[in-house]
Amino acid sequence: MSKRIALSLLLAVTILGSCNRKIIPTSTKSTPSRPVPEAVRATNLDFRFLSAKGKAQFEQQSGNLNIRIRKDSVIWISASLIGFEGFRAYITQDSVQVLDKLHREYYSGDYAYLSKRLNVPVTFHMLQALILGNYLAPVNDSTQLKVSTESAVQKVNYVQAGLLIQQLIEIGKGRVQQLAVRDSVTQNKVTVDYSDFQVLERNSSPFAHTATVKLQQGQTAPSTLTITYRGVDVDKERLQFPFSIPKGYARKK
């Protein structure tokens, strides 16, 4: 079950990256997050290290989730049930390592793993933006943005490689309230609603302590993943990202 929760989080990102493989770069120099355009009123969370603990509810199942991030460098995810860790992932800009303790299997390689499992490509920055509730910038600088404001909410739309991407930004907080992405060809869709914003101890930018992810592939009924954080710290300490493969585990290809 913990593996399904963690992979559901990754599934949301793969839907974001479901456009043409020539458009989404999977290579891999360490690059910073793309800046927020001047016309967009979003303020991205800035930090060196972030740790977040909470619960994840996927359909009728729930488990504990532990996430650690070194900005633009490493994402570490651990999912567990009743104190037993079933899934761990160590993700960098050019590699993906996944440990499935329930089946005594592991994967170590590039982003082809996620693309193969879910049939669409994925990038590091998409996953990082989704977790943080940051503004998701277009891959290409030439992409035209459509920006409008209604009351206290700014709407930012753009189309990229057959994807319609819409972000709703609460101007007062400067934070993304909702991210919605739809693939016009496959009709795959992901909607992420961010709520329960709280100012962090060492950061003035509010962080959403609840994220509700609705996933829909084609015409199938949507699935819902709700993440509720009970503790989020930024730059409290230099974090460790432990990952090792136990003896006897089979490597997946």
pTM for this prediction:
0.83
Comparing 18-27, 90-99, 146-155, the range with the smallest average pLDDT is 18-27
The percentage of the chain sitting over the pLDDT mark of 90, rounded to a whole number, equals 40
Q: Can you say how many angstroms the Cα of residue 30 is from the centroid of all Cα atoms in its chain?
A: 18
| Helix ranges (DSSP H) in the chain | 2-16, 112-118, 124-132
pLDDT at site 123: 74
Instruction: Report the pLDDT averaged over residues 53-67.
Output: 84
User: What digits encode the pLDDT tens for the residues 200-222?
Assistant: 988 888 999 999 988 877 778 88
Q: Please report, as a single letter, which amino acid is at residue 91.
A: I
Domain count, the chain: 1
**Cβ pair 33, 71 in contact under 8 A:** yes
| Phi, psi (deg, nearest 5) at residue 45 | -70, 125
Long-range pairs of 95-99 with CB within 8 A, sequence gap ≥ 24: 97/243, 99/243, 99/245, 99/249
Give the tens place of pLDDT for each residue, 103-136.
Answer: 899 888 877 666 565 544 467 887 888 899 999 8
Q: Which of 24-38, 53-67, 121-135 has the lowest mean pLDDT?
A: 24-38
142 CB contacts (<8 Å, ≥6 apart)? Answer: none
Residue 135 sits in a domain whose CATH number is 2.50.20.10
What pLDDT, on a 0 to 100 scale, did the predictor assign at position 115?
Answer: 56
Residue 219 belongs to what domain range?
Answer: 2-251
